[in-house]
Amino acid sequence: MKFFTTSQIAELDRYTIENEPIEAIDLMERASLQLADWISTRFDTTQRIAVFAGPGNNGGDALAVSRMLTAKNFKVGVFIPDSGRNFTDSFLINLDRLRGCAEVTTINWNNNELLPELIDYNLIIDGLFGSGLSRPLSGFPAELVKHLNHSGVPIIAIDIPSGLMGEDNQGNDPDAIIQASYTLTFQFPKLSFFFKENERFTGKWEVLPIGLHPTGIEQTQTPWHYSDIKTMVSMLKPRGKFSHKGTYGHALLVAGSHGKMGAAVLAAKGCLRSGVGLLSVQIPFEEIPIMQIAVPEAMVEIGYISDTENENRLKSKFKSIGIGPGRGTNTGTVNDLNTLMKINSIPLVIDADALNVLSENPKMVQLLPEDSILTPHPLEFERLAGYTISDFERLKLALNFAKEHRIILILKGAYTAIALPDGNCWFNSTGNPGMATGGSGDVLTGILTGLLAQGYTPQETALLGVYLHGLSGDLCLSGSSEESLLAGDIADHLGKAFAFLKSDPDFGKAKKKSQF
C-alpha cells in the first residue's frame, strides 16, 4: 500500500471529486457513513455521545456522522465552538441536515468557564481540526482539547487527533493534542501514526476506505509504503517439484561465542525455517557440541573467516552471509567483518555485535557491499549514525544513511521501517509487543540470511523477511499471550506464517502460472 502526505491526500480528494466525478458533500457523506458503521458495530445505543465539530471539513464529517448515529438511535449531543471564523460549505450543509435530529450547542469561544460538562457522556467524537493543521493549537482551541483530555471519557478522533500534524510534530505542543482511544483515518494512515512519540495521541488507529480515485492514487508518487499481504504474496517464490537442496542456496551465519550460543542457535533455526537448502554456522571450536545438538540440520565451520583457508572458500561456496548475533566485538569479529567486506561482493546481513563493530570503526561503513542489509534497533542505530531528538528525525536520518551508503536499513520497532537505497521507505504491518524479547532479532537475521540465499533480491528479502517474522510472532499468540512469547516460538511458527501467505488465492494463481 502506498500512502501520502496530508497535502497529497488533499490533492487526491480534489482529483476524486473532479474525475469520479462526485460532489464534495457526497464524498464527505461516503466517509461519514464509514465512520458511523464502525462506531455502531462496536458500541451499543445506550452510549451517550458528545460530538465536537470544528469549522472545517473535519467538523463537517463530525456533523454528518452525528446525523447518521442519531438515525441509528444513539443519543448524540453536538458542540460547535464559535470562533467567528467562516464555516466551510460542506459544514453548513451538514449543519442544516442535522438540525432537528440532534441537540446542537454552541460553545462561546471567549469564555473558558462555559466549557461543557461531560459527566453524562460515555464517548466523545473529535472533529475539531483535521489533517491540514500546520501549527500548534493555542488559546481557546488548546484549552478545549485539554478539557476533553481531562474528562476521562474515551475519544474517537476523525481522520487525525485534533492538534496532531500529519508528518513532523517537532515543536508541537503535546498538551494541546487530543489523546484519542481510537483514530479512524480515511483511506491512508498518516506518517505521524508510525512514530512511538505519537502513540498516546492516536491510540489504536484503523484505516477506513472512502473510495478515492484509483488512477489518482496510481499516478501520485510517494516514498511511503505500508506492507500488505498481497504485496508479500506476490514476492513469494513457488517451489518446483524437481528442486533439491542446492536449488535453495547455501547460507553462512557467523554467530555465537562463549555464553552467547543461544543467539547463534536462534539465528540458525530462523535461517533453516525460512527454506534455505543448506546452512553452515561459523562458531568457536569449543562451542561445536551446542550447535550440533541444538540444530542438527546445520553444518559447522570453525575458526575465523579471516584465516586464509576460509577466505578462499568464501568466494564460491556461499550464496548469502549473515554476521553478528552473539559474536562479540573482539578483534576476531572486527577482522571477520573487515574480511567479508573486502573479499565478498554479495550483500551481507549485518546485525547485533557486527553493527557494534561498525559503530566503533566508522571507516568500515564505507566498505559495505551494495544492498547489504543492516538490522539495528533504535539504540544500535543511534550508535551507528548519531543521536536524534524524535522518531521523525531518526527516520529521516535512516533514509539518508541508506541512500548514502547504498544499503538497506531495517530500523526495528513497532512498525519496523525498511529504508531502501532508492529513497523509498516501507513500514511493516505485522508483529506485536510480545516480540520485544531477547533473541527475536537473531531469528530475523537468520530469516533474512536464508531468504537471500534462496535467490530473493535484497529488497524482497528485507520486506518479506520482516513481514514473515512479524506474522510468525502474531501466529504465536493463538492460544497463548504476548507475555509468554519466546524468540524460539517465532522460529517454530515460521511454517505457519509461510502457509498463511500460501493460502491466499493470489499465491495459488502465481503457482499455477509458474507451471506453464
Q: Which CATH number fits domain 6-220: 3.40.640.10, 3.60.70.12, 3.40.50.10260, 3.30.2350.10?
A: 3.40.50.10260
Same fold, 6-220 and 229-238+247-514: no
Instruction: Find, among 213, 220, 219, 218, the residue nearest to 19 by Cα.
Output: 213
pLDDT at 159: 98
Q: Are 376 and 411 in contact (CB under 8 A)?
A: yes
Please give the pLDDT value at position 303.
72
pLDDT tens per residue across span 65-92: 999 999 999 999 999 998 777 899 999 9
Model confidence over 346-378: pLDDT tens digits?
999 999 999 999 999 999 999 999 999 999 999
* Domain 229-238+247-514 CATH (choose: 3.40.50.450, 3.40.640.10, 3.40.50.2300, 3.40.1190.20): 3.40.1190.20
Q: What is the mean predicted confidence (pLDDT) over 299-320? A: 76
Reduced to 3 states, what is the DSSP secondary structure of residue 419? strand
Q: What is the DSSP string of 347-388?
A: -EEE-HHHHHHHHH-GGGGGGPPTT-EE---HHHHHHHH---
Q: For residues 254 and 277, is the Cβ–Cβ distance under 8 A?
A: no
**What is the mean pLDDT of the segment spanning 389-403?**
97
* Spans of all domains in the chain: 6-220, 229-238+247-514
The three cell numbers locating residue 6:
496530508
Contact 279, 296 (CB under 8 A): no
Count of all residues that appear for the chain in the document: 516
Mean pLDDT (whole number) for 152-168: 98
pLDDT tens for each residue of 231-275: 999 999 999 999 999 999 999 999 999 999 999 999 999 999 999
**pTM of the full predicted structure?**
0.95
- To 5 degrees, how large is the angle CA 224–CA 427–CA 380? 115
Q: How confident is the model at residue 516 (pLDDT cuts 50, 70, 90)?
A: very low
Q: What percent of the chain clears pLDDT 90, i.e. is strictly above it?
A: 89
Q: Give the pLDDT confidence score for residue 357 in this predicted structure.
A: 97
* pLDDT value for 333: 93
Which has more pLDDT, 218 or 512? 218
High-pLDDT (> 70) share of the chain, %: 96
